[in-house]
Amino acid sequence: MKIEIIKGEKHDDIRITRDDGSTAHTTFPKKGLFPHDAVHVVVEEELNLKNAFWGMIAQGKHPEDIQKLAKEAGHASAKRAREPEPSIIELLQAERIVECFEAELWGAPADLETLQGIVDAACASSCVPAIKLEKKLSLKSGPTSPI
């Protein structure tokens, strides 16, 4: 899948071309120096989350439909979180971890143990299991990469 993220002043423009040639286009509000959905690419690839945001898009969902899907499957917001349907667990895990990394981009970096504690609490707030983080980062690219 080819992902193009074009940074704008008030929003980021996202263009997707799936492996089957189908396309999707959307915009998202700007959230900091590094685009939110680019952080998703790194997190989902590194943690092998095939059914998170970008995995769902690769499977044919439109980016704008994913929030509605999450709400219908049990997660409208952290305030109203309940045990989610299995189909959105990876989506929620990815979102919580992305938020943790974004917070680190905006502030001082945390050591791995502190970051893991934050991830654990964030995942618990969404009623999903936490994912163990590791020090190494090994992004892949090429024909076997889903992104």
Side chain identity at 21, as an amino acid letter? G
Q: Please state the domain extents for the chain.
A: 32-125
Rounded to the nearest 10 degrees, the angle between the axes of helix 112-125 and helix 89-106 is 140
Quick one: how far is CA 72 from the chain centroid? Answer: 18
What values do phi and psi take at 7, rounded to 5? -70, 135
The mean pLDDT value for 47-69 works out to 93
**Residue closest to 126 by CA, chosen among 97, 90, 94, 83:** 83
Q: Which of 12-16, 57-61, 109-113, 134-138 has the lowest mean pLDDT?
A: 134-138
Neighbours of 3 (CB within 10 A): 17
Q: What is the pLDDT of residues 102-125, one digit of tens each?
A: 888 888 788 889 999 999 999 998
Cα–Cα distance measured from residue 109 to residue 30, given in angstroms and rounded to the nearest whole number:
22
